Structure 1
């Protein structure tokens, strides 16, 4: 028989794996745009996208380790990421810089919503360590949204 503690832990692990999938997918999309951005704003956006991708990839291991510290399993493959993420693939390499910026901004908003879910479920599961660290991830996400939003004006 499952206890409410078991249920809250399962919800937390599900939210963490969702955030892991979104972070990995957003990392790949950000690198894609880093490689394919063109035009007069090339240098600024090329560097911004690379900086943001680096921040995302650094978060991936932290999220995965939070899952493992809860004695559960992380996502295991590109297929498991694709089945879990809310970030849509973007294979069009001819997007304008403005389209790239808007898409990354909107996708970071999706990740931010997922991080709010991690925060809520970590508190329900009495996982203070996850609750504390997710604040840092959310702050980084908010900064990416801010930079991208300001870049699109």
Structure 2
């Protein structure tokens, strides 16, 4: 068989694999997979949005506390980014799909972007604190839904991320407090 005859056969196999469904087997049932994956993807979109906002503020930080705030936001952004892969893979392990593009993230995110040319350091930190609190709330909603379906692995993952979001919110809140007794 010539190399030319093999190439169309390989292309046909590749196209067949590309068209194959991505549904992994799941013991949770079709409704659970659909709803839990949707909840996880909503959280994932918000996590991506928060990551980018945190980096935006990290890059545009200024003022007398620049170094401390710059490093704090960099540390928080790293933690937020680490959650993205875990959330996306959790959705896939369930048998669902996950986000595919920035456009899809934008369609699902509930946290607002901040495209302002200038934001004061205090306002940056306060906005991120509120966003982290809201994210923890969204995660609690996803946790409740996953618990209804007996998806203990997703609830476990979300519990860790809720704690991390609350810790970030706490640090940001404490950073913005005045020196009053």
After TM superposition, the score normalised by the length of structure 1 is: 0.94
> What is the Cα deviation at residue 5 of structure 1?
4.8
> What is the Cα deviation at residue 6 of structure 1?
3.4
> What is the Cα deviation at residue 10 of structure 1?
2.2
Structure 2 CA distance, aligned partners of 1:78 and 1:48?
25
- State the aligned residue count: 150
Structure 1 CA distance, aligned partners of 2:106 and 2:40?
15
> What is the Cα deviation at residue 56 of structure 1?
0.3
User: Residues 33 and 95 of structure 2 are in contact (CA less than 8 Å); yes or no, is this contact kept in structure 1?
Assistant: no
Where structure 2 has 5 or more consecutive residues not aligned to the other structure, the ranges are 1-27
User: Residues 86 and 110 of structure 1 are in contact (CA less than 8 Å); yes or no, is this contact kept in structure 2?
Assistant: no
What's the CA shift string for 1:80-117, capped at 9, x where partnerless? 00010011111113100011011101111111111101
Where structure 1 has 5 or more consecutive residues not aligned to the other structure, the ranges are none
2:144 aligned with 1:106:
no
User: Residues 37 and 97 of structure 1 are in contact (CA less than 8 Å); yes or no, is this contact kept in structure 2?
Assistant: yes
> What is the Cα deviation at residue 131 of structure 1?
1.2
User: Residues 135 and 165 of structure 2 are in contact (CA less than 8 Å); yes or no, is this contact kept in structure 1?
Assistant: yes
Of structures 1 and 2, the larger Rg is shown by 2
Alignment correspondent of 1:6: 30
Taking the TM superposition and a 5 Å limit, the aligned residue runs for 1:58-73 are: 58-73=82-97
Instruction: Report the aligned-residue RMSD.
Output: 1.3
Structure with more contact order per residue of length (Cα contacts < 8 Å, sep ≥ 6): 1
